[in-house]
Structure 1
Amino acid sequence: MDTTEHGEISTQRVAGAARLSCALGDGRTRLRRLYQDGAAKIRMPTVSADPLEAVLINTAGGMTGGDRLGWQVDAGAGASASITTQACEKIYRAASNRAEVRVNLSVGENGRIAWLPQETIVFDRAAFARTLDVELAAGAEALVLEATVFGRLAMGERAARGHFHDHWRVRQDRKLIHAEDFRIGPDIAATLGRPASAGGAIAMATLLLVSPRAEALLDTVLEIVGDQGSASAWSVKKSGKLLARLYAGDGYQLRQRLVPLIELLNGRAGLPKLWSL
């Protein structure tokens, strides 16, 4: 807490930004630049082969109204990077304003990125906005996941009210190939309870694969997703796009299907180690 010149108490806000760039060198992906500021930290586990792995950490342990985090990852031509988080990001009740996360990913020609953060947990009366911008060069591939859980039923917690906004833009060779704009609130529980929305499910995920392999994987993806979600695939110029949406009664049930999906779609890189702990 800080005290203003008038003797009033103002709450400190979380602020952080981190940037990582990597490039192909001597036959494997290597770190080129790393910048960290405030609560945003990046750690690099030791790996013996591609992809380069990075773990994002919010040292504040969660976010609330007014907090800001920014993540930027640049993978050069032919480079491969896998990004995850140390833990689930928690979005707590906001007294005013909203918490914001901005993510910018760029991949050079024939490069690959896997953006695989662990789930975002939204608490009652939270206010949160997330922006995800992905720029892919020709021939680049991407696997992008965002999973959200509205409350923690095992702890007796439910996100009844609040505001949540997810905004995605994915471009390849400067052309828009995918857009998401999901909003829910202020009555989150009532909206999720409607049969036409989530039928009472509180956990959901969107997983996007941009790759020439996309259409060939659709049948297996549909088997994993089952009747609590859907998946589709399309041709996108010289590449392909697969989009899967899942929902579940809680975060544990959601993860039971997300794990095999990630293992399938992430190729030889498989599941990030932190997901299996």
Structure 2
Amino acid sequence: MTASVATLPRTEGWQARLRLGFAVRGERTVLVDRERHGPLAVQRPFYPEGDICHVYLLHPPGGVVAGDALDISVDVGARAHAVLTTPGATKFYRSAAGHASQTQRINVQPGATLEWLPQENILFPGADVRLQTDIDLLGDARLCAWEIQCLGRPAIKELFEHGRLDSRLTIQRDGMPLVIDRLRVDADNRARLSLMAGMAVGATLYISNADEQSIERCRDLLLTDGPDYTGATLLEDILVVRYLGNSTEGARRMFTAIWQALREQAIGRMPHLPRIWAT
């Protein structure tokens, strides 16, 4: 494994970068490349499943403010299998001026599997945030990923009445776009939030190598009680499950149940919850 650390001066904001590379060594996946600049880091890898590498992404400052730019890149080598998650929510605080950004570039090589399962993004009122996630799958690479966006803090009745969000996620295989998702919230939030049925939480789960049987099994696990909206569809071989409501916990609970139900079929492994989720 190679690792390097550089500390950048904090001027207008943290300019943080984290680069991770995974490869097969012997009978298990290892973190062979790690480079970080600024306040982004990972804990040491865990192996609760024996050969699959579990890694927790850390952002020690605990929140993102205007001027901060977080840049994360992940490369999963051929036949490697990595599970990445976070120990808690990422919080984007009110911006007095300027914007905060988080960019994630992910490459999954042939025969490899990535499970990208971060906890939610919470945008405080007045936050100005740009999010970009690009996932490139090569050959028969497999993916399970989710994103959960929470506008304001609905648990305490705090509304996202002002602020901006520009969130974009793309998934492509061998250069062919499979999914392009975009959520834009600007100063005229009343109009935008009306399109979200007045709900604060929008979340999406993506599972590759899915089929009609996958979508039928998934639909049995969609939330049907209460005011939340849920749905599932198949785009090529990508199962897309959407949640719209007011509970990040509800979104995570539903996504986790679907991930557990489909993991063996989609990636050939029995479900195994990351240990950090229990703390």
- Normalising by the smaller structure, the TM-score range is 0.7 to 0.9
Q: CA deviation at 1:221?
A: 1.5
- 1:16 equivalent in structure 2: 16
- 2:36 equivalent in structure 1: 36
Alignment of 1:117-266 (within 5 A): 117-188=118-189, 191-192=192-193, 194=194, 197-211=195-209, 213-227=210-224, 228-235=229-236, 240-266=237-263
Please identify, of 131-140 and 254-263, the stretch whose mean Cα deviation from structure 2 is larger.
254-263
Question: TM-score scaled to structure 1, two decimals?
Answer: 0.87
CA distance in 1, matches of 2:130, 2:24: 33
Q: Secondary structure at the match of 1:47?
A: coil
CA distance in 2, matches of 1:271, 1:166: 27
CA deviation map 1:205-234 (0-9, x unaligned): 0111122x3432111212222341211114
CA deviation map 1:97-125 (0-9, x unaligned): 11100101111111000111100001101
Q: Percent identity?
A: 25
CA distance in 1, matches of 2:271, 2:256: 13
CA distance in 1, matches of 2:189, 2:260: 31
Q: CA deviation at 1:190?
A: 5.1
Q: CA contact under 8 A between 1:14 and 1:60: conserved in structure 2?
A: no
CA distance in 2, matches of 1:116, 1:214: 21
CA distance in 1, matches of 2:211, 2:130: 29
Q: CA contact under 8 A between 1:65 and 1:93: conserved in structure 2?
A: yes
Q: CA contact under 8 A between 2:12 and 2:67: conserved in structure 1?
A: no
CA distance in 1, matches of 2:155, 2:183: 26
Q: Find out whether 1:271 has 2:268 as its counterpart.
A: no
Q: Secondary structure at the match of 2:220?
A: helix
CA deviation map 1:158-191 (0-9, x unaligned): 2111111111221212222221122112233553
Question: TM-score scaled to structure 2, two decimals?
Answer: 0.86
Cα gap change, 1:226 to 1:191, in 2 (>3 Å): same
Q: Secondary structure at the match of 1:224?
A: coil
Structure 1 gaps of 5+ residues are 1-9
Q: Secondary structure at the match of 1:216?
A: helix
CA deviation map 1:76-133 (0-9, x unaligned): 1110011111210001101111110010111111100011110000110111111111
Q: CA contact under 8 A between 1:262 and 1:271: conserved in structure 2?
A: no
Cα gap change, 1:202 to 1:23, in 2 (>3 Å): same
Cα gap change, 1:272 to 1:186, in 2 (>3 Å): farther
- 1:69 equivalent in structure 2: 70
CA distance in 2, matches of 1:15, 1:122: 19
Q: CA contact under 8 A between 1:215 and 1:241: conserved in structure 2?
A: no
Q: CA deviation at 1:248?
A: 1.7
CA distance in 2, matches of 1:99, 1:225: 33
Q: CA deviation at 1:156?
A: 4.0
For residue 202 of structure 1, what is the amino acid of its counterpart? A
Cα gap change, 1:27 to 1:215, in 2 (>3 Å): farther
Q: CA contact under 8 A between 2:178 and 2:235: conserved in structure 1?
A: no
Please identify, of 40-49 and 20-29, the stretch whose mean Cα deviation from structure 2 is larger.
40-49
Cα gap change, 1:183 to 1:248, in 2 (>3 Å): same
Cα gap change, 1:107 to 1:68, in 2 (>3 Å): same
CA distance in 2, matches of 1:170, 1:189: 30
Q: CA deviation at 1:11?
A: 6.1
CA distance in 2, matches of 1:188, 1:214: 37
